[in-house]
Structure 1
Amino acid sequence: MALDVRCEVRNCVHNRDGKACGADEIFVVSRSGKKASDSKETDCKTFEPASL
């Protein structure tokens, strides 16, 4: 299991220092159904917009 999760989505409430995700868990889903062929076919459902 990965100890560090990197993220460059700066407007997410879970983003720490512009490079790391501080969420307790990460939820990623496939865009096309149950099986993804590559990372372009996935979406992170953990994202929450930060109030800027």
Structure 2
Amino acid sequence: MNDENREISTNWVFRAQPIPYDWVPEDTPRSENPVKKLDVTEFRITE
């Protein structure tokens, strides 16, 4: 909500930017997790 108590609606999308492992300090914990394939016939967004 803003100063006038109205809801602010946005549709911003943030994307993670991959970086090379060489850039990360040594001994930093790392993990890579695969993204599950989305079944578009079953996917629904509800409020």
Q: TM-score, normalised by structure 1?
A: 0.17
Which protein is richer in strand relative to its size? 1
For CA contacts below 8 A with separation 6 or more, give which structure has more relative contact order: 1
- The structure number with the bigger radius of gyration is 2
Q: TM-score, normalised by structure 2?
A: 0.17
